[in-house]
Structure 1
């Protein structure tokens, strides 16, 4: 893969957001929008998918996390490709942990195919994460769940979808959220009326609020602890 786009924290880093773009995009496609909404203590990593043939697009080569064979929710899926992409995401998480950021301070996110990868990667990771932001997407290899899940039931998931999405049908998002809610304890599915296969200011405001909620308390708590140590 190409080197990821990285937006460094503007104060001491205590959290990380790893966000995967959609089919045919690059890490640059989301980096500016995410930089504008992330907390100052959060580093943002926007990797770019490898360029490979995509069956759905007649074999045309483009940045893609895994092959897409069909948009039929019951159709064949590229299981080896999904698992290989998952391993890459797990490697990025591990790199952040090695740099001193605990798993429960790392948010996974993504849009469309990238959101699908974020969901799958989070559920199959063996340490609780801060949360998952899944935009306009679906849960890949859904028939394997909940058996394939190895993460905590408590990892929060924020799933968002426009009800006018012509690419990843709104119904796919609803079905995925329903399945996730059957084995995860903290799943939010929010509908954006009139939104197609894209984002919106309202959605980004909600993402801003949710990632701050997932990471802010720990940051404030650590600051209080540091202040207490200085006073003592």
Structure 2
């Protein structure tokens, strides 16, 4: 078991159907898999874009009484100033940076790679973007927060000018709407191109309105060459 338990399962990949010139890497939330978001992302993508939806490694999650489930890092609480799994967040970030560099090696410049995620995956996508030196095409942060926020702005070594779309439902019972707002205000201080969209009445999920914004964001930031 040992090492293999922390290895990621094969990601769900939607290959470009035209000449591949851009990539979106989208990270699911706690307890989900890459399949959870693949079809939704496929619907808002474009023919020249390859979509990668990786699946997090299975690990015991403190927040869920130690039950094992796909999780990017351990979650001990969803309190605003609760303890965080610093080591786990950084290890997960390294895996995401690896996925980005694999795309770069295959010929897609980092400026044509977009990162995104939902909930825990959105948190990881924000953290991974700001700790990545090379510029990315954009970040889609859904129903999430900025992890290890006490490290910022010092920890932000890149993507300070990158456009970020952050969406949050104002009825979210899991990741409170307030967390999203606090994260957005903090990020705005060092990365001004963040657009925070409130989705009225939405809980900890997605909606047509939100996906319409995601689709517009992808079209604006990753047009066909």
- Under TM normalisation by the shorter chain, which class is it? over 0.9
Q: Is the Cα–Cα contact under 8 Å of residues 113 and 138 in structure 2 kept in the other structure?
A: yes
Question: Is the contact between residue 161 and residue 193 of structure 2 (CA under 8 Å) also seen in structure 1?
Answer: yes
Q: Which residue of 1 aligns with 2:115?
A: 108
- In the alignment, the residues of structure 2 paired with residue 175 and residue 122 of structure 1 have an alpha-carbon distance, to the nearest angstrom, of 18
Aligned-residue offset at 1:40: 1.0
- 1:114 Cα offset (Å): 0.2
Q: Secondary structure at the match of 2:190?
A: coil
Question: Is 1:125 the counterpart of 2:132 in the alignment?
Answer: yes
- Aligned match for 2:33, one of 26, 37, 47: 26
Structure 2: any 5+ residue segments left out of the alignment?
Answer: 1-7
Q: Does 1:165 align with 2:172?
A: yes
> Cα offset for 1:152?
3.4
Query: Could you list the runs of 5+ residues in structure 1 that have no partner in the other structure?
Result: 221-232
Question: Between Structure 1 and Structure 2, how many residues are aligned?
Answer: 218
Instruction: Note the C-alpha offset of 1:207.
Output: 0.2
The two structures have a TM-score, normalised by structure 1, of 0.93
Q: Equivalent residues in 2 for 1:206-217 (5 A)?
A: 206-216=213-223
User: What is the CA–CA distance in structure 2 between the aligned matches of 1:115 and 1:19, rounded to whole Å?
Assistant: 8
Is 2:11 aligned against 1:4?
yes
CA distance in 1, matches of 2:217, 2:209: 12
> Which of the residues 74, 77, 87 maps onto 1:80?
87
- 1:1-232 to structure 2, matched below 5 A, reads 1-216=8-223, 219-220=224-225
CA displacement 1:180-214 (0-9 Å, x = unmatched): 00111201000000000000011111101101100
| TM-score relative to the length of structure 2 | 0.96
Following TM superposition, the consecutive aligned residue runs of length 4 or more in structure 1 with deviations greater than 4 angstroms are: none
SS at 1:16 equivalent: strand
Q: Return the alpha-carbon distance in structure 2 between the equivalents of residues 13 and 198 of structure 1.
A: 30
CA RMSD, aligned part only? 0.6
Asked if 1 retains the 8 angstrom alpha-carbon contact of 2:118 and 2:141, the reply is: yes
